[in-house]
Amino acid sequence: MKETRLKILQYITGIGLFFFAGTHLIVSHLSSGEPASWESVSDRAASAGWLTLYLLLLTFGLYHGLHGLRTIILEFSFPNYAVRVLDWALVVIGIAIFGYAAYIPISAF
């Protein structure tokens, strides 16, 4: 039941993103002050709580986004024999993006 398990993860990450991305968007785009200024960004970067939130947001967002993209690619009559190649390509892309994107807040912590 591989596809079913992948989809369950899609649901779990979706629910997680509702909270993590919701918090991130409210703080970064709707709060008063200048949330994108260097001072604000540096303050958040020094917090273990924010670092955890960013890493969870990144992990959940990458899985949810790339799995969604996989679904769309499959719908172009993507042949079954090549699905494994597609999956590995998306895993490699996901890990590469995670490595790059996670390095930024970790290095600033």
Partner 1 sequence: MQELTFKVQRYTPGQDKEPYLQEFTIPFTEGMTVLDGLIYIKEKVDNTLSFRSSCRMGICGSCGVLVNNFPMLACHTPVEELKTDRIEVKSLPNFPIIRDLVASLDLLFEKHKSIKPYIISSDIREAEEPTAEYVQSREELESYVQFAYCVKCGLCMAACPTVATDALFLGPQPLGQVYRYCTDRRDMGAKERFHEADSPHGVWLCHLAGACSEACPKGVDPALAIQLLKRAMVFDSMRLAKKRQPVTLAHLPVESKPKIEVPEFTVK
Partner 2 sequence: METEVASSEKPHLPNRLGVKGWVWAGRYTLERYLYTLHRLTGLGLLLYVALHLGANGFRLGGEESWTSAIDFLTNPFGRVVEYLVMAAFAFHALNGGRLILQHLGYTLGKPKPPIYPYVDSMRRRRPLTWVMLAVIVALAIYILVEFVT
Instruction: Convert residues 2-41 into a mask of x (bound to partner 1 by CB under 8 A) and - (unbound).
Output: xxxxxxx---------------------------------
Q: Answer for the pair 57, 49: CB distance below 8 angstroms, yes or no.
A: no
Among 9, 27, 56, 83, binds partner 1 (CB under 8 A): 83
For residue 107, give Cα distances in angstroms to 19, 46, 55, 101: 25, 10, 13, 10
Residues 35-74 that bind partner 1 (CB under 8 A): 71, 74
Stretch that binds partner 1, among 29-37, 45-53, 57-65, 75-83 (CB under 8 A): 75-83
Q: Does 107 bind partner 1 (CB under 8 A)?
A: no
Give min distance, CB of 84 to partner 1, in A: 10
Q: Which of 62, 60, 67 is nearest to 96 (CA)?
A: 62
Cα 26 to chain centroid distance, Å, stands at 17
Q: Answer for the pair 17, 57: CB distance below 8 angstroms, yes or no.
A: yes
Give min distance, CB of 83 to partner 2, in A: 20
